[in-house]
Structure 1
Amino acid sequence: MTTKDAVKTSILSKRWRSTWTSNQYMSFSLPLGSILKSFITFVDSVLLRCTAIKAKRFLYDGPCFALIQSSLDRWLQFAIKHGVEEVSVNLRYLRYKDFLLPRILFCCTTLVNLRVSQCCFRVFGTVNWCSLKTLRIDYANLNNDGMMRVLGGSPVLEFLELKSCVGVKHIMVESKSFRELVIDSHVFRGRASMLKISAPHLLRLRLLGNSRGGEFRLDEVSSLIEAELNFNMKIALNKVKARANLVKGLLKKLHHVTKLVMGSWCLQVLLLMEARDMSLPSLECRHLILLGTAGHEGAPEAIVKILESTQLLEKLFLQTTCTPNSAIELNAESVGHRVIAGEEFWNLVRWRIYQCLMHLKHVEIVDCGANLLAWEPVLSLLKFLLQNALWLDKIVINSTNSKSSQAFEPSPRLEVARILLSQSKCSPSAKVILRYPFQGCPSV
């Protein structure tokens, strides 16, 4: 609970009258429209009466108007002096973009988890975060020198997330503890801007969100086992080569990962590459997740492009429902490529994905809608896999996330399952499983 609610427990009984003062978890939230002076007085009073020797957590969620800035700095210093382990500062309605985190924060040796949003992340001295494991920075101006000091001063850091940050051009982490990196909606600065990533012990990498006019480059990521390329890069439509080189360069560095997630923008680039006979590097991926695919014209060709390069693939996951922002923008006609529909298409490309069909065991489709017509592109693919995948164990049609308006209309899914069950199977053990939340009973 918030600290305000914790203070309210003092009215429950005489024994509870002062219990809240020993609370090690401090959480303060200031909604828009609240009286700032009253809020500051309340927080000051809480900290003044605090009897806890150690502060486990300090959370502040609210605006950072001029009246709040000096107080927030004082509150953070209180938490740091009490050996705080978790700090979260989420600034909203920010008028002043230069709120500086107190220097004492960068020498907080007890800090384990830190999240800051819209804070000025200037680092002028030594960083000593010897206990820090999780670091999230949102909407911040960074620089390479400051970032290097932060990463160098965090020897046991395991997780780093940068969301909508600008200024940093190189992330280099040599620590063996570093396990996961998330770059979300990176803001590139300058026309020829680039974000280089070098982390030899990194296990999971996620490139997400909307970016504009830059490039991701992977230098040393030899330990990666999982990678997600679910970003949208704003590159001019006529710069096909730039798009292709970006995706091809990333896949070349990710050739050894066992689990790969690709979003709709990268699949769009694959479609462009397919139309121009541009090759992809060979991938060792065994688990492939394609987000926002089969419902779009031309998407089967993008799927073939990636399947052709994943010859050891064992598990394929397709999400066929797309949000407006993630839909594939280009169809095959827009890149001068003729569309061949349905089963005819898959039979023509069978020789290209033959090696993939030798290992594929598990296919899962996330529901593409209640309309049976919407299933046509997916159905032709599933029928083809049933007839050609030698060791296929199961095809799962997952409708458990269907919208409430479709919740009790299972007939299209049942019809799809019926059609698939009537098909001849290359693998005698292949099963078709429909997971659907029928009213009154679990998914089946």
Structure 2
Amino acid sequence: MDNAGWRPLMPPEGGEGGGAGGAGVAIDGNDWRAQLLPESRERIVNKIMETLKRHLPVSGPEGLRELNKIAVRFEEKIYAAAVSQSDYLRKISLKMLTMETKSQSTIPSASPSNSAGNSSEDSAGKRARLHASNQDESRNSVDHISQLPDAIILHIFSFMTTKDAIKTSVLSKRWRSTWTSNQYMSFSLPRGSSRKSKGFINFVDSVLLRCTAIKAKRFLFDAPCLASVQSSLDKWLLFAIEHGIEEVSVSLHYWRHKVYMLPRILFRCTTLVSLRVSQCCFSVFGTVNWCSLKTLRIEHAELNDNGMVRVLSGSPVLEFLELKSCLGVKHIVIESKSCKELVIDSHEFGDDEGLTLKISAPHLLKLRLLGNSQGGEFRLDEVSSLIEAELNFDMEGFAADDGDLVRGLLKRLHHVPKLVMGSWCLQALSLTEAREEVLPTLECRHLILLGAAGHEGVPVIAEILESTPRLEKLFLQMTRTLNSMTVSNAESVGHRDFDGEEFWNSAKWRIYQCLMHLKHVEIVDHGSNSLAWEPVLSLLKFLLQNALWLDKIVIDSTNSKSSQAVDPWGLLDVARILLSLPKRSPSANVILRYPSQGSSSKHVRKS
């Protein structure tokens, strides 16, 4: 095949599109943020800053710093909400245009000149009137920010901490009192600031005392767990609850092992929509009435099964539940049809051996088992409605039955369309691969393997492909470096002189059904060891030559750090090797994405 057509292509104006025909750049909509470099976003923030300075003039470094914070938070909100780069730029432009239009409409029209005036007035009078005119313009400019509706000002405050919202008083005299009606309260005291606790407590007391808002929407609190802070926090939470609070986040840092016990009144707050508590005593003794709660995050807490039953039964509309580094829970039963996602992160099984966390949730849609969860095992009793599952936990080391644990989980997840597997689970399967235990047949159509690279991972990938006959999309994230443990394990089972091409050709008959449906393959490289490319390349060669309906192979290194990124010319060599091979699918494309200094990510595409 002729390689002369290779050339780096810049993303088209607006960040999307493909141009006429099929020779354009293939860019996924979900990947546009990776293509937008920080320098580009900084330039957009500067443009927003220039517009704000024209219509909201301030003086002094303090005022400029506050304007910059507004511009940054304004851009961040649109960046998070946009669905594509063109949508991002369009929303920025529309907001700026709206500001220009509103500002122009508030400028009073100039008075008509008096042509019959005294033509002999002296120059001193002209200078006096010019000076007065400049003062009027200055006053009118300052009035632009004063004329902003309260709703817009309070919306700006919602992106700031309470302390920063109060600082905006320098922008306008009117803002000096507006912050008192702010419905979004955010207080934080950094670690190691115990000497400032008295001033911090006085500050929070004074803010709440001056608060004129009838309803509070958000109360965020992050501070060391000092005795003085604990006694005041009860009072502050009561204030928030009495004002119909909707979102509460309490994060305490242990100091001399003082533990804050959440007040009972919090468990009867019917207006709560979102709750996050970290390093608090989550003891539930009475009835829980969270009839509006949709999101619940509990971190670093000791729980029990009875408390979880009370919480779940008292949260009828709960949609999202996350338990992170929690101890004491042995059985989670979610019978509500409204709960859609459960996250178990770094579960603490305790010191006793043989502990198990059982999960039963017949209506749950998404399940994620994450983090360091050594000391026990997970058991899935009833999860028949799942459409997405993630097994990305780590048991710290390997035991003989770890592979059986992973296989048992996969057996309960055989029906899940989207499956994510982390490196520990893949390695656990590789250690039991020699035992010739077959994986259950999976109905997975979208498979994501995190950290699967190196010769030792190839047989596991083949085993998983054999078990996913309907697979349509394969996502493979390469490891940054080869793990010494996995290398030694690979050598022990005879993979030292591994021939990838020979292996895949011999495995073709086993994964034939998968090759009939696979359409999309993506390799994400975060600066992996160059040795990892050899087995991955052998896989890509095999798929390109045998997958019947393969649409594209994407090699993506745009998220690599500059110090860890693979040489783009080396990636070009990988892509050229793939393009030199015959393709089973006539529509198959090879797409290379790689970072380029000083500009957006480069893309190379060739049919």
TM-score norm. by structure 2 comes to 0.70
Relative to structure 2, which stretch is displaced further, 274-283 or 403-412? 403-412
Structure 1 unaligned blocks of 5 or more = none
Instruction: Specify which of 6, 11, 15 is matched with residue 174 of structure 2.
Output: 15
Aligned to 1:121: 282
Q: CA-to-partner distance for each residue in 1:128-183, whole Å, 9 max, x for gaps? A: 00000000111001111111100110000000111111001111111111111110
Aligned to 2:226: 65
Alignment map for 1:226-375 (pairs within 5 Å): 226-234=388-396, 237=398, 239-240=399-400, 242-294=401-453, 296-322=454-480, 328=486, 331-335=489-493, 340-367=498-525, 369=527, 373-375=531-533
Amino acid at match of 1:142: L
Instruction: Specify which of 206, 209, 214 is matched with residue 48 of structure 1.
Output: 209
Change (3 A) 1:371 1:64: closer
Q: CA-to-partner distance for each residue in 1:110-136, whole Å, 9 max, x for gaps? A: 000000100000000000000000001
Change (3 A) 1:329 1:89: farther
Q: 1:416 aligned to 2:574? A: yes
Change (3 A) 1:215 1:371: closer
Instruction: Specify which of 176, 191, 196 is matched with residue 358 of structure 2.
Output: 196
Change (3 A) 1:300 1:163: same
Amino acid at match of 1:376: E
Partners of 1:200 and 1:223 within 8 A in 2:
yes
Instruction: Give the Cα separation in 2 of the matches to 1:177 and 1:261.
Output: 23
Relative to structure 2, which stretch is displaced further, 89-98 or 199-208? 89-98
Change (3 A) 1:261 1:43: same
Structure 2 unaligned blocks of 5 or more = 1-159
Q: Which has the larger radius of gyration?
A: 2
Aligned to 1:26: 185
Aligned to 1:104: 265
Instruction: Specify which of 193, 211, 229 is matched with residue 373 of structure 2.
Output: 211
Change (3 A) 1:247 1:128: same
Between Structure 1 and Structure 2, which shows a larger proportion of helix residues? 2
Instruction: Specify which of 258, 280, 302 is matched with residue 141 of structure 1.
Output: 302
Instruction: Give the Cα separation in 2 of the matches to 1:63 and 1:13.
Output: 34
Change (3 A) 1:40 1:441: closer
1:17, distance to aligned residue in structure 2 (A):
2.2
Aligned to 1:167: 328
Change (3 A) 1:39 1:195: same
Amino acid at match of 2:426: L
Amino acid at match of 2:180: T
1:345, distance to aligned residue in structure 2 (A):
1.3
Change (3 A) 1:121 1:348: same
1:333, distance to aligned residue in structure 2 (A):
2.9
Partners of 1:370 and 1:412 within 8 A in 2:
no
Q: 1:180 aligned to 2:341? A: yes
Instruction: Give the Cα separation in 2 of the matches to 1:306 and 1:114.
Output: 39
Change (3 A) 1:339 1:281: farther
TM-score norm. by structure 1 comes to 0.94
Higher relative contact order (CA 8 A, sep 6+): 2
Partners of 1:264 and 1:328 within 8 A in 2:
no
Change (3 A) 1:205 1:19: same
Q: 1:91 aligned to 2:252? A: yes
1:13, distance to aligned residue in structure 2 (A):
3.3
Q: CA-to-partner distance for each residue in 1:393-424, whole Å, 9 max, x for gaps? A: 11000111122136694100111110000001
TM-align CA RMSD: 2.0
